[in-house]
């Protein structure tokens, strides 16, 4: 009957993986994409992170896998980054933008409004990309993933106080970058 | 509260991380100090600029597929996995027989339980995100979406845009739920997509909210139609959409 127990266990694990990981794939990819600044590398990072997540499924306490998965994504990114020379990291945000506006175009037929939104979006994205990565990641986790300070502290493995000071500095820089874009 | 302290507190205040007493003290200070009030406005503006304006990159379809295949969960794949181990052939066959009967019983239970329907709702939602087939009719205009369903369904689903409340109507499509053709209305809230399935009810049932595989689901009956809202959005905000729909 050992075989049956094995099967049942792998089935249970598969279900837990589906519950902890699959709903947060967009969040995982968004974080990886903002960290790596490259669509292909972001996909590799997420894929690798999900392999690790499956292997270390038991390290997730509780039933919400979001902060846990984002922690793995971030760690995977940093270990991959150290392996690769930084000049390989070429931003190709334009390709993603093209995809994004294509899908938006189908939803919104007013070209003038679309153009305004597109240029505004590019301006904000550029400012975010200018942030050093340790500041960029707190802004992404806070504003785009809507994580609490406690959750961000968990993802970065730093005290909450550090999260607050980094966010504050990141926002100062971001405000300055956005302002310089206006001029 | 002094200005120095207030400058520290403004960020956490807008992030909803300040306790009630400190938030009150800060609000008091902001009402008296114009320079701190200006700083607070700047924080609020920066926050909405980034939240509403920055690109949210959603996982590409092929990545989603590859990740889903990392841990297959069908009964067939566990059986196949067992069969590859010859030393366990006998135990495996026995186990397979047991597993099959368990699986059969489970699937019977699933068919009978109302959760089978919830599972189908989640599956439809996930599929709509996976195959990049969110909308057959892509429009935020309710006067485009509503007539589109005419002649395709024997009832008329409510199609309202709630952009003003942060739930933008993205479009609609036909879907299949519980053996019936249903309307699926698609809404967008920040980076979250929401499917609202609308079907005429088989039997009258009340409101229920549940979480399945990390997705939140709310079911309710309205104007003789059974409604299912499903999303990875948090339960409170999903319930806000239900209230908006019910108020119409």
Q: Using one digit for the tens of pLDDT, what is the confidence trace for B112-132?
A: 355 778 888 888 888 887 766
Establish if A9 touches chain B: CB-CB under 8 angstroms.
no
Classify B163 as helix, strand or coil. Answer: helix
Are A175 and B215 a contacting pair at CB < 8 A? no
Of A27 and A90, more confident: A27
Kindly identify which residue of chain A lies nearest to residue B66, measuring between CA atoms.
A47
* Average of per-residue pLDDT across B20-40: 93
Question: Residue B208's pLDDT band (boundaries 50, 70, 90)?
Answer: confident
**According to the model, what pLDDT value does residue B116 have?**
77
* DSSP-assigned beta bridge partners for residue B172: B137, B185
- B204 — pLDDT class (breaks 50, 70, 90): low
Instruction: Check pLDDT > 80 for residue B57.
Output: yes
Q: Is the ipTM of this complex over 0.85?
A: no
Size of interface A-B (CB pairs under 8 A): 156
Mean pLDDT of B67-93: 58
- A24 at interface of B, judged by CB pairs closer than 8 A: yes
Q: How far is B224 from chain A (nearest CA, A)?
A: 30
Residue A84, min C-alpha distance to chain B (Å) = 22
Structure confidence at residue B105 (pLDDT): 52
Per-residue confidence (pLDDT) for residue A25, from 0 to 100: 93
Q: Which of B51, B59, B70 sits opposite A143 (nearest CB)?
A: B51
Contact B81 A149 (CB under 8 A): no
Mean pLDDT of A120-124: 89
Q: Residue A146: its chain B contacts at CB < 8 A?
A: 190
Closest CA to B173 of B129, B210, B237: B129
- Does residue A58 carry a pLDDT above 90? no
Chain A residue at shortest CA distance from B125: A23
Query: Average pLDDT of A134-138?
Result: 94
Give the distance from residue A130's alpha carbon to the nearest chain B alpha carbon, in angstroms. Answer: 13
Record the tokens describing residue A73, joined without a space.
């994504």
Q: H helices within A37-92, ranges in order?
A: 39-55, 66-83
Distance CA B30, CA B1 (A): 9
Task: Kindly report the nearest CA distance between residue B16 and chain A, in angstroms.
Answer: 9
What are the chain B neighbours of A25 within 8 Å (beta carbons)? 59, 63-64, 67
Query: Which range among A21-25, B89-93, B233-237 shows the weakest confidence by mean pLDDT?
Result: B89-93
Which residues sit opposite B162 in a β-bridge?
B167
User: Of A47, A107, A142, which is closest to B171 when you measure between CB atoms?
Assistant: A107
pTM of the model: 0.59
Gap between the Cα atoms of A122 and A110, Å rounded: 18
CB-CB contact of A12 with A19 (8 Å): no
H/E run at residue B227 = strand B225-231
Judge contact between B215 and B199, C-beta under 8 A: no
For residue A143, the chain B residues in CB contact (below 8 A) are: 47, 50-51, 54
Q: Which residues contact B181 (CB under 8 A, 6 or more apart)?
A: B152, B153, B174, B175
Is A18 in Cβ contact with B73 (below 8 Å)?
Answer: yes
């Amino acid at each position: 009957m050992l075989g049956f127990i094995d099967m049942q266990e792998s089935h249970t694990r598969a279900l837990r993986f589906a519950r902890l990981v699959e709903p947060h794939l967009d969040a995982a990819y968004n974080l990886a994409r903002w960290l790596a600044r490259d669509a292909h590398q972001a996909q590799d990072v997420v894929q690798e992170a999900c392999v690790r997540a499956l292997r270390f499924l038991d390290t997730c306490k509780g039933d919400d896998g979001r902060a846990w998965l984002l922690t793995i994504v971030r760690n995977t990114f940093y270990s991959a980054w150290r392996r690769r020379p930084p000049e390989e990291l070429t931003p190709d945000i334009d390709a993603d933008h093209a995809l994004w506006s294509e899908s938006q175009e189908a939803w919104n037929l007013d070209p003038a409004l679309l153009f305004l939104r597109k240029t505004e979006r590019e301006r904000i994205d550029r400012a975010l990309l200018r942030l050093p990565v340790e500041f960029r990641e707190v802004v992404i986790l806070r504003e785009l993933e809507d994580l609490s300070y406690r959750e961000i502290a968990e993802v970065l493995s730093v005290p909450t106080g550090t999260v607050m000071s980094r966010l504050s500095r990141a926002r100062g820089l971001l405000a300055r970058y956005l302002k310089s874009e206006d001029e | 509260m002094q200005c120095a302290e207030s400058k520290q507190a403004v960020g956490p205040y807008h992030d909803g991380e300040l306790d009630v007493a400190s938030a009150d003290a800060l609000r008091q200070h902001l009402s008296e100090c114009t320079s701190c009030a200006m700083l607070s406005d700047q924080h609020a503006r920066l926050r909405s600029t980034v939240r509403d304006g920055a690109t949210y990159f959603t996982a590409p379809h092929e990545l989603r597929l590859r990740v889903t295949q990392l841990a297959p969960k069908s009964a067939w794949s566990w059986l196949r996995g067992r069969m590859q181990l010859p030393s366990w052939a006998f135990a495996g066959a026995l186990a397979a027989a047991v597993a099959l009967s368990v699986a059969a019983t489970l699937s019977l239970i699933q068919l009978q339980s109302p959760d089978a329907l919830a599972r189908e709702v989640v599956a439809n939602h996930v599929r709509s995100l996976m195959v990049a087939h969110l909308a057959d009719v892509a429009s935020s205009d309710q006067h485009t979406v509503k007539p589109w369903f005419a002649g395709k369904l024997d009832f008329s689903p409510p199609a309202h845009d709630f952009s003003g409340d942060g739930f933008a109507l993205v479009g609609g499509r036909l879907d299949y739920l519980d053996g019936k053709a249903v309307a699926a209305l698609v809404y967008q809230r920040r980076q979250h997509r929401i499917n609202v399935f609308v079907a005429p009810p088989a039997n009258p049932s009340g409101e229920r909210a549940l979480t399945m595989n990390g997705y939140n689901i709310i079911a309710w009956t309205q104007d003789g139609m059974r409604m299912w809202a499903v999303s990875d959005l948090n339960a409170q905000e999903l319930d806000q959409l239900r209230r908006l729909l019910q108020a119409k």
